[in-house]
Each structure stands twice: as C-alpha cells, then as structure tokens.
Amino acid sequence: MSALPEPSAIDPDTPLTQRTVRVLLWIEKYPLPLVYFWLAWGRWVVLRALYREYRAATSISVTLAPGWQNLYYASLGRNALLFALMIFTGVTLLLNRRPSVVPDKLKHVVVPLAASYYFVLYGLVDKLPPAWSGNLAPREWWPTLTLAGFLCSLVGYAVSLWAICHLWRSFAVMVAVRTVVYGGPYAYVRHPMYLGYLLDSFGLLLVSGSLAMGVLAAGFALLLTIRARMEDEYLAAASAEYKRHYWRTGLFFPRWPRGQR
C-alpha cells in the first residue's frame, strides 16, 4: 500500500473565490473599524485613569517617589499616541470605496491583515512581563524621548493625513486597485501613507522605550515593505501609467529618477 501524501503547505498564491472576496471586503469595511474603535476606547479609559492619578498625586502633601513624573509622562505619551492611531485607522477604513480590481490571491489578504493587526499588538504591550514592556531608557531621558516621540508621530500623522486627503476613499487594508493617485505626496513617493505609519511607529518606540515595542516596530516595518512591494506589482499590472510612475518615485522616500523603462 502506498503511503499517504504529505499535506502541502498553504500556498500564498492560492486564488480566492468571489464569495470569499465579498466576505473579506465586508469585514474590512465594517467589523474591522469597530475593532480599532474598541481598542481606542480602551486607550481612552487608560488616559482618564492616568489623569485622575496625576490630579490625586499633585493635590496631596506627601513625598512622592523620585522620577514619578517621568514615569507618568512616558505612560501618558504612549497611550495618547496609541489612542490617536486606533481612531485614525478606524475612520480611514470606514471611508473607503469598493475596489475596481479586488484581491485575487491569499497573500493579498494575509500580509496586509498581519500588518494591520500590529496596531492591535501595540495596545497589548503593557500586558507583557516588565522585562519586555518596561522602558529601558534612563529615566532622566523619558521626558525628552516622549517629546521626540510625539513630534515624530505628529509628522507621521501629518504625512498620512496628506496622503489620505489625496486618496480620499481609496484607502483600505487588503491589496486591491481603486483609483490610482499621482498627486500630492504621491508625486514624490509611491506609499506616503506607509511612510506616515513608519514615522508613527518610530514615535511609539521612542515614547515606550521597551524591547517589545522595538520588536513590533521592526516586524511592522518589514510587513509594510512586503505589502508595498505587492501593491506595486498589483498596480503595475493594472496600469501602464503606474509603471512609469514606479520609475519616477521612491518606495517610502523621494529619490532621483532611475530613468524610464
């Protein structure tokens, strides 16, 4: 009797059925934003608790532990950035329009969702053991790093907002083709939205200073790069103009043209 064949690994190029695509687009449009709003509410609850603790600590005449304000500022900054990130992501997903060319392979769904749920993981860093979630930077650096993190994230939000104003309802999670945009920040880089996310991720890392946030930020950057490359391939196959645009612009940062091909 011949041996049974070994089960094959999941092929990322597995084609998706039309029914599966419709279900995935519905999940992306409605349930997924609710997840981000729920996570934002959790961050808001934490921010209110931190504010009450600060008012209570400053209203009593007791000697507080050295460096407590630095700890407070670091925690406040991290949770405020996470709150803004969750709200921003949920709103942009609600505003998107149905794609003209839908995702047709498993990898067009799995990689973007994996990158998307890094936002969820950021909110769970505080649940990890102190060795992973604790701030490794010297305490006297925390106020400076918190300010730097805020500024970095604000720049990231500004870049992402600039991009979404030009994308309008073309923003989504899964790899698909909606309206191809070439104006605004897209005249300089092909994926300014992801550049904004990377800057925000780096800002979160500065504010947190934890090993877990460093690992998450590195993984997030890797997944965003893979996703951007897949989108380039998908858009170039759907638009000859995008092929020319590819050689004029950089992936995340502006660069000198490499010439036409």
- pLDDT of the chain, 261 residues: tens digit per residue: 434 444 444 566 778 888 888 898 888 889 989 988 998 898 899 889 988 887 777 776 555 555 667 667 777 777 787 788 788 878 888 888 788 778 888 888 888 888 877 777 877 888 889 899 999 999 888 888 988 988 898 888 888 878 877 887 777 778 877 778 888 999 999 999 899 989 989 998 998 899 999 999 999 999 999 999 999 988 888 888 888 999 889 999 987 655 444
- Dihedral sign for Cα atoms in the order 7, 9, 14, 16: positive
How buried is 156 (Cβ within 10 angstroms: 0-12 exposed, 13-18 middle, 19+ buried)? buried
d(Cα 188, Cα 194) in Å, to the nearest integer? Answer: 13
d(Cα 189, Cα 173) in Å, to the nearest integer? Answer: 19
d(Cα 227, Cα 175) in Å, to the nearest integer? Answer: 8
CA atoms within 13 A on the CB side of 62: 7
Assess if CATH 2.60.40 describes domain 18-248. Answer: no
At residue 63, the pLDDT reads 54
d(Cα 182, Cα 154) in Å, to the nearest integer? Answer: 24
Residues in CB range of 238: below 8 A, 6 or more apart = 101, 177, 180
Question: Is 125:210 a contact under the CB 8 Å cutoff?
Answer: yes
DSSP-derived letter for residue 65 is P
d(Cα 17, Cα 103) in Å, to the nearest integer? Answer: 10
At residue 217, the pLDDT reads 93
